[in-house]
Chain A
Amino acid sequence: MFVHGLIVAALLICAVQAVRSKRLLHSALWLAGTSALTALMIYLLGAPEVAVIELSVGAGLVTVLFVFAINIAGEEAIPIQSIVPRPLAWFLMLSSIVMLMWMNRDLVGLNVDVAQVLQLDFKTVMWENRILDVLLQVGLIFSGVLGVLGLLAETHPSALKEGGQ
């Protein structure tokens, strides 16, 4: 219980630092810490397969992508003034906290025994019962790859010539 509390505290501190950091690179590294601690939480919730994927994708791949993008785009000092007034943002955040805690007030004392919950094989559920999810993931990966290729592709010389005429 105490260790779980420490993990949650560290998770929230990492998330706050990811948001507060002035430098984007620091922000990306704090986000990697958040992902790693989320993976630990997922493992403790009894889902080791998902935890491994979160750790490798969330803390690994996404962090590399962020660092890569920050290196290309560069650090930039943007004025502190936000689009939404800060008092309104604070109000909305605190309202969401109060509402979420109120909605889940019955769950606070509840204990979940992870060993009892695991009844079906994850592979069976994933590949047989939730095949639509798998197809959706394949579609998402293809669309993501094509989207990135389209965005990062160099402009064709003929298109540049047409634009110049």
Chain B
Amino acid sequence: MNVGIVVLAITGLLAIGLYALLVARNLIKVFVALQILVKGAMLAMLAAGQIAGKAQVGESMALTVIVADTIVAVVGLALAVQLRRHFGTLDVRAFSTLKR
């Protein structure tokens, strides 16, 4: 497989995830952006493993990333549900009450 195509996918996913993370105000959208960002990082680990000739190490790390990413999504979504109950909104600006 041509590495250039994989690099394109990695770059695209990381860039889209970064942009969405900067722009999103809805907490659930923030977690969607994180998911996209982490998919780019996971592909990068796999590609790095293939290029370095240590594919299994890359696969093992990608597996750990999948587990960590899922836990982040689970805890984050549970937190979003609780915040929605508490504040009545999912707007991340509404949660920053420390500065008031």
Q: Say whether B19 contacts A151, CB under 8 Å.
A: no
Given A18-B32, A62-B35, A137-B64, residue A84 in contact with residue B22 (CB < 8 A): yes
Cα of A147 to Cα of B20 in the assembled complex, Å: 26
Verify A90–B90 contact, CB threshold 8 A: no
Chain A residues closer than 8 Å to B69, beta-carbon distance: 58
Asked if A42 and B46 sit within 8 Å, CB to CB, the answer is yes
Chain B residues, CB < 8 A from A62: 35, 70, 73
- Distance in angstroms from B61 CB to nearest chain A CB is 7
Chain A residue numbers with a CB within 8 Å of B43 are 38, 41-42, 45
A73's partner among B12, B18, B62, B90 (CB-CB below 8 A) is: B90
Q: Is the CB of A130 within 8 A of B91?
A: no
CB pair B74 A89 closer than 8 Å: no
> How many interface contacts (CB-CB < 8 Å) are there between A and B?
255
Tell me if B9 and A11 are in contact (CB < 8 A). Answer: yes
Assembly CA distance A147 to B56 (angstroms):
31
Chain B residues, CB < 8 A from A126: 56, 59-60, 63
Task: Specify the chain A residue showing the minimal Cβ separation from B60.
Answer: A130
Nearest A residue to B25 via CB reads: A78
Give the A interface residue count (CB, 8 A). Answer: 87
On chain B, the number of residues with a Cβ less than 8 Å from chain A's Cβ atoms is: 71
Contact B91 A78 (CB under 8 A): yes
- Mark A55-78 against chain B: 1 for CB-CB distance below 8 A, else 0: 001100110011011101110101
Residue of B nearest to A151 (CB): B78
CB contacts under 8 Å to B, within A27-58, are 27-28, 31, 34-35, 38, 41-42, 44-47, 49-50, 53-54, 57-58
Across-interface contacts of A54 in B (CB, < 8 A): 42, 66
What residues of chain A have their CB less than 8 Å away from a CB belonging to chain B?
1, 4-5, 8, 11-12, 15-16, 18-19, 24, 27-28, 31, 34-35, 38, 41-42, 44-47, 49-50, 53-54, 57-58, 61-62, 65-66, 68-70, 72-74, 76, 78-79, 81-84, 86, 88-90, 92-94, 96-97, 100-101, 104, 107-112, 114, 117-122, 124-126, 129-130, 133, 136-137, 140-141, 143-144, 147-148, 151-152
| B→A interface (CB under 8 Å) | 1-20, 22-26, 28-29, 31-33, 35-36, 39, 42-43, 46-47, 50-51, 53, 55-64, 66-71, 73-75, 77-82, 84, 89-93
What 5 A-B pairs come out closest when comparing CB atoms?
A144-B71, A125-B56, A69-B77, A108-B4, A151-B78
